A and B are shown apart, each in its own frame.
Chain A
Amino acid sequence: MNKITVALAGNPNCGKTTLFNNLTGMRHHVGNWPGKTVTIERKEGRTVYDDTALEIVDLPGTYSLSGRSLEEEIAVSYLQNEKPDVVVNIVDAGHLERNLYVTIQLIELGLPLILALNMNRYADSEGVIINTKLLSEMLGIPVVNIEAIDNTGKDKLIREILARPKPSEKIIRYNRELEEHIAETEKKTGSRWTAVRALIHGSDDSQIEAVRKHLTDVFGTNPQEIFADQRYGYIAGVLHESVSRMEAGGKNQSERIDRIITNKWLGFPIFLGIMYLTFQIIFTLGTPVMNLIDQGFGILSEFAAAGLAAAQASEWVTSLVCDGIIGGIGSVIVFLPNIFLLFVLLAILEDSGYLARVAVIMDRIMHKLGLHGKSFIPMILGFGCSIPAIMAARTLETKRERNLTILITPFMSCGARLPVYLLLTGIFFAGWSQGLVMFSLYLLGILVALTAGLLLRKTLFKGESSAFVLEMPPYRLPTIKGVLIHSGERSWEFLRKAGVIIFPAVLLMWLLASLPFGVEYASSESLIGMAGSTIAPIFAPLGFGFAEAGVAILMGLLAKEVVVGVFGTLYGVGDEALGDVLMNIFTPLSAYSFMVFILLYMPCLAAMLTIRQETRSWKLTGLAAFGMCAIAWIVSFIIYQGGVLLGFA
């Protein structure tokens, strides 16, 4: 079978990943680009057409091929060294001018190229009319109209790929002065592309440096600006011929929406409103499904117990199967509806373009922490699961910003903490106040994250944030397929983590609660009971200084969702009776204080390991663990003692 390697290149937000998903289906492999200090996802997929296998590689989205940022460096080195058979350059038809900047560099690079014009419907609605045939002639490459979100143009694109296009001969010509120096430099560097790059970005060669100095004198500005000027000039020429604009439809809809979304008075209320709505939706839609799953596992457990009794299994086997295994798996699966819903809602916010606005709205505040507005995006993803959120900090530009963002992200209340709130607010608070209590916890997480960021900035992470420039992609209606792929991937990541860490954690808990042999399950004589009572006094000033809470907190170090299961196991009761038991030991105030502690203390083991992996520092990881526990204690202390003083006890 023939094999063609196809690289997808283009700007961020141009629909590249959507096209990738569309071409490969769900059959793809996520790996890492090799040899980098920070890992960036490498997506590869394979698909077969007409007896030809297409190996498709999704390159990181870039605004240029200068190789300055990590993403660009990866894209350029892949294109230069691995020389894919075909490069498909996806461009946003509505923003052709800026998108073609990468295109002319790809042409300069001399690789076989196809231009995939995406989002034509959107461009149409904006009144942009593109003469595809003329554009194709002028650039010297095939141009295909596609819609990445559905199958429009997909067959045509594949036919063009299978036809194996040749590199374009219509390479951009700069003005005469520049061309002379490019020709001269080319003799040294070997190719036009490397010559242009050396002239733009400088080189060790003193002769090239002399040429750059000369160009700077002649043009009165540095080579970067000279080349950018002429490239954009060339693009303007191409577009002048091949694109026309209808004046009538030309009013930009995104700008109009932004006038409301980023409005001085409405911006923050809208942001808070959207966050509040998100959690209300999860609460209302997710909880019934969750209860259903819970009941299902209850029935399964009874069924297993009956079966084991009939087989005359010993008591500890029954306990292992029912409490340990079924209870353990159940305690994980039960959160899946909520977590999946959260991921779906976050994906909608992300794909619609709203998250980019949040970064803009929050930049002023994040700037005070020496961070970028962009740092707020990992923090928001932290509402889903800390692990992908911590990994999302990779997109930040400096190491200082990455590490600082990673350290404060776990304060954002992740989906695994949600069941703890669901359980306790369900028992101790009624009606509308449930939503309010939950909302206050999420808000508290943000406030503590920001305060901790400010403290860290004044101490360990002194410095300025890198300059801020962020593209605000046009608002788009998210597609069902896109949102499902997005949230499906993240939910799967959570389940995998759950399988690897949470399940053994629950089994470990069962073991600790059963040892030494002969003790009553999870009684104060068991190992875990002893550990719990030992640390319990530490929590007395916080309102929950009893052994069971201590055990739950210890087990929560392995995975926060285990906390709920621990109460069930320790008191040896099902979910319905659990309410009555907890009523006897918690007051609404101490329950709230307990939830605050669960929110803020160190994240689960898997998240800690991710912090270690991303920061590459045990010191920072240790600092995070200790710091978060200390902060959790202090904040819970203030809330509980403050509440007692105010007479809420």
Chain B
Amino acid sequence: MQNESVRLCDIPPGGSASVIGFTNGTNNGFQSRLLELGLTRSSCVQVTGFAPLGDPMIISVRGCQLAIRKKDAADIEVVAA
């Protein structure tokens, strides 16, 4: 049960997760950007919080804070840590 994969957007604020991959994982520019920013396989992501209107979500990857829309985070498959 613990190792079930979920979408990044479902991780609650304060939670962390480990990246498995991109669900519609083909060659698109947005995913390459995320890879370059360090969202590679088994990298650790912390969800710091959400913007006042509930979107985007703020995550912390490799010591850097990034804002990413929930819609896009839904394509990132993770395991809760």
Contact = CB atoms under 8 A, between A and B. Distances in A.
B59 to A, nearest CB: 10
Residue of B33, B35, B48 with most chain A CB atoms under a 10 A cut-off? B35
A311 to B, nearest CB: 66
Contact of A472 (B36, B38, B66): B66
A101 B30 CA distance: 17
Interface string B47-58: 011111111101
Given A224-B32, A467-B72, A468-B69, A258 B38 contact: no
Contacts of A254: 65
Given A222-B25, A367-B69, A267 B38 contact: no
Contacts of A94: 63
Given A68-B29, A101-B38, A262-B58, A469 B51 contact: no
Residue of A63, A228, A365 with most chain B CB atoms under a 10 A cut-off? A228
Interface string B3-46: 00000000000000000010001110111111111101101000
B67 A468 contact: yes
A265 B54 CA distance: 11
B35 A225 contact: yes
B41 to A, nearest CB: 6
Contacts of A229: 40-41
Interface residues of B, number: 38
A396 to B, nearest CB: 14
22 contacts: A63-B33, A68-B33, A95-B62, A98-B61, A101-B38, A222-B27, A225-B21, A232-B43, A258-B49, A262-B51, A264-B52, A265-B52, A360-B51, A361-B53, A363-B56, A364-B56, A466-B30, A468-B67, A468-B68, A469-B72, A471-B65, A472-B67
A63 B21 CA distance: 20
Contacts of A466: 30
A373 interface: yes
Interface size of A as a range? 35 or more
B67 A363 contact: yes
A634 interface: no
Interface of A: 63-64, 66, 68, 94-98, 101, 202, 221-222, 224-225, 228-229, 232, 252, 254-255, 258-259, 262-268, 359-361, 363-365, 367, 373, 466-474
B64 interface: yes
A178 B36 CA distance: 19
The 7 nearest A-B residue pairs measured at CB: A267-B52, A364-B53, A228-B35, A467-B30, A472-B65, A64-B36, A360-B67
Contacts of B67: 359-360, 363, 373, 468-472
Contacts of B36: 63-64, 66, 101, 228
B51 A259 contact: no
A225 B40 contact: yes
Nearest to A222: B27
A356 to B, nearest CB: 8
Contacts of A222: 25-27
A405 to B, nearest CB: 18
A264 B50 CA distance: 8
B60 to A, nearest CB: 7
A367 B55 CA distance: 10
Given A222-B27, A258-B48, A373-B67, A469 B43 contact: no
Q: Is the interface of B mostly helix, strand, loop or mixed?
A: mixed
A229 B38 CA distance: 8
Contact of A98 (B56, B63, B68): B63
Contacts of B30: 466-467, 469
A83 to B, nearest CB: 24
Contacts of A202: 27
Contacts of A472: 58, 65-67
Given A225-B31, A228-B36, A252-B60, 7 more contacts: A66-B36, A94-B63, A97-B62, A101-B36, A364-B53, A468-B69, A469-B72
Contacts of A359: 67
A202 B26 CA distance: 13
Contacts of B69: 363, 367, 467-468
B68 A469 contact: yes
Contacts of A360: 51, 56, 58, 67
A470 B63 CA distance: 14
Residue of A222, A263, A267, A359 with most chain B CB atoms under a 10 A cut-off? A222
B31 A373 contact: no
B45 to A, nearest CB: 13
Contacts of A101: 36, 38
Contacts of A262: 49-52, 58
Contacts of B72: 467-469
Contact of B40 (A232, A361, A470): A232
B26 A364 contact: no
Contact of A224 (B31, B52, B60, B61): B31
Nearest to B42: A229
B65 A258 contact: yes
Contacts of B49: 258-259, 262
A222 B35 CA distance: 12
Given A68-B32, A224-B27, A363-B69, A63 B51 contact: no
A629 to B, nearest CB: 33
Contacts of A469: 30, 33-34, 37, 66-68, 72
A580 to B, nearest CB: 47
Residue of B27, B31, B33, B64 with most chain A CB atoms under a 10 A cut-off? B64
A437 to B, nearest CB: 27
A361 B52 CA distance: 6
